[in-house]
């Protein structure tokens, strides 16, 4: 895809025309507090679907970018499909931006197009193309926070560490922001979804991994409101409920949360050693599953909300 076109400026003079800008090309009100939008992304060369939770009335407000996990919801974010996020944010004076798509993307710019996933330039989209559009359409005041669960939580810390001027607060729900500890699981998760993990940042240990590692960019997190949460992998009150996902939550979600717990403890120690404060929510039970992420969303708001003025 050409990054720019050639325009004629006067007789015989050729100049590059400006590259196409991102734009909202579709919009549909779902409820008074929830709007679906379609944004064209020049970086990815396609349209991206999002939904925005917002107050029913006007007034300037901050924006919380809330990212999904490895397998984002279809038709809506899993945050609104599997948790009470829509009801929780109703009445709060904040925009909540919920991207859709990006399976196993880690919401980052991949160094190469992937045969399975195509072109992933999520960092460019989320940090450069989208914020101005959201602020203009939904009365954003330029004050932003970012959070996510699992893959999305890793991405939230990565994006905040790489774009420190953009976010005032960061939340990671069952996330592992230390790329040295997370690399193996990240590579496996991309392969498991049919992608080539080398197309993301190359081989682990290379320069792109270092450039995306919050554990090596700790100073960029200084002064922000930081929240992290983790269980221990031991089944808890959400496993006492009979539901179709119960076996998966225990058999897969338990061991995954054990790994997350160790990584988050290590990352928390790094923050403390650097003199960077963080609200780290350690729970004695809990698997890698949505019931606990809903709880964490609620628990995180006293940290995230004030940073947004909400």
pLDDT, tens digit (0-9, with 9 covering 90-100), for 231-266: 887 887 767 665 656 556 665 766 888 889 999 999
3-state secondary structure of 206: coil
Question: If you search the block for the tokens 């560490």, which residue do you land on?
Answer: 161
Is the pLDDT score of 79 beyond 70? yes
Is the pLDDT score of 285 beyond 80? yes
**Mean pLDDT of the 17-38 span:** 89
CA 87 to each of CA 23, 97, 103, 107: distance values in angstroms, whole numbers, following the listed order:
28, 15, 26, 26
Nearest one of 202, 72, 95, 102 to 143, comparing CA atoms:
95
- Structure token digits, residue 174: 């069952």
Contact 77, 37 (CB under 8 A): no
Contact 107, 117 (CB under 8 A): no
Separation CA 38–CA 48 (nearest Å) = 6
The pLDDT of residue 2 is 31
Contact 301, 248 (CB under 8 A): no
With residue 300 as reference, give the H or E element that holds it: helix 290-308
Report which of residues 283 and 25 the model is more confident about.
25
Separation CA 42–CA 109 (nearest Å) = 13
**Local structure of residue 38 (DSSP, 8 states):** E
The pLDDT of residue 11 is 41
CA 241 to each of CA 43, 238, 245, 246: distance values in angstroms, whole numbers, following the listed order:
43, 6, 10, 8
Report which of residues 242 and 20 the model is more confident about.
20
The pLDDT of residue 57 is 83
Percent with pLDDT over 70 in the chain: 89
Contact 228, 268 (CB under 8 A): yes
- Structure token digits, residue 281: 């929510």
The pLDDT of residue 189 is 96
Pairing of strands 14-16, 94-99: unpaired
Report which of residues 250 and 173 the model is more confident about.
173
Separation CA 247–CA 250 (nearest Å) = 5
- Listing from the earlier edge strand, what are the strands of the sheet with 34-41? 23-31, 34-41, 46-53, 94-99, 61-67, 140-149, 169-173, 225-230, 279-282
Q: Which residues contact 210 (CB under 8 A, 6 or more apart)?
A: 179, 216
Question: If you search the block for the tokens 């699992």, which residue do you land on?
Answer: 150
Helix/strand/coil percent split, the chain, to 5: 40, 25, 40
The pLDDT of residue 89 is 97
In a 10 Å sphere around its CB, with 0-12 CB exposed, 13-18 middle and 19+ buried, how is residue 149 labelled?
Answer: buried
- Structure token digits, residue 280: 């780290």
pLDDT digits (tens, 9 = 90+) for 196-238: 999 999 999 999 999 999 999 999 999 999 999 998 878 877 6
């Amino acid at each position: 895809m050409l990054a720019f076109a050639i325009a004629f400026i006067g007789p015989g003079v050729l100049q590059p025309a400006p590259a196409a800008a991102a734009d909202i090309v579709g919009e549909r009100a779902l409820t008074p507090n929830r709007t679906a939008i379609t944004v064209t992304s020049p970086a990815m060369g396609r349209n991206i679907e999002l939904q925005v939770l917002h107050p029913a009335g006007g007034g300037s407000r901050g924006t919380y970018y809330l990212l999904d996990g490895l397998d984002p919801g279809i038709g809506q974010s899993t945050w609104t499909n599997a948790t009470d996020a829509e009801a929780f944010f109703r009445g709060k004076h904040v925009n909540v931006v919920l991207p859709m798509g990006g399976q196993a993307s880690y919401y980052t710019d991949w160094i190469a197009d992937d045969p399975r996933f195509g072109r992933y330039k999520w960092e460019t989209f989320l940090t450069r193309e989208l914020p101005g559009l959201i602020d203009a359409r939904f009365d954003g005041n330029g004050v932003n926070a970012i959070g996510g669960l699992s893959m999305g939580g890793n991405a939230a810390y990565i994006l905040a560490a790489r774009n420190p001027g953009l976010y005032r607060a960061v939340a990671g729900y069952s996330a592992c922001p230390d790329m040295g500890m997370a690399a193996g699981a990240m590579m496996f998760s991309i392969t498991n979804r049919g992608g080539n993990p080398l197309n993301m940042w190359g081989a682990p240990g290379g320069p792109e991994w270092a450039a995306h590692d919050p554990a090596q960019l700790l100073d960029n997190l200084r002064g922000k409101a930081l929240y992290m949460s983790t269980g221990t992998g031991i089944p808890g009150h959400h496993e006492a409920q009979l539901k179709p996902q119960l076996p998966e939550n225990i058999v897969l979600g338990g061991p995954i949360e054990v790994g997350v717990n160790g990584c988050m403890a290590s990352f928390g120690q790094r923050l403390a050693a650097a003199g960077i404060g963080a609200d780290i929510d350690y729970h004695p039970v809990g698997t890698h599953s949505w019931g606990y992420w809903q709880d964490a969303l609620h628990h995180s708001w006293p940290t995230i909300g004030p940073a947004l003025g909400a």
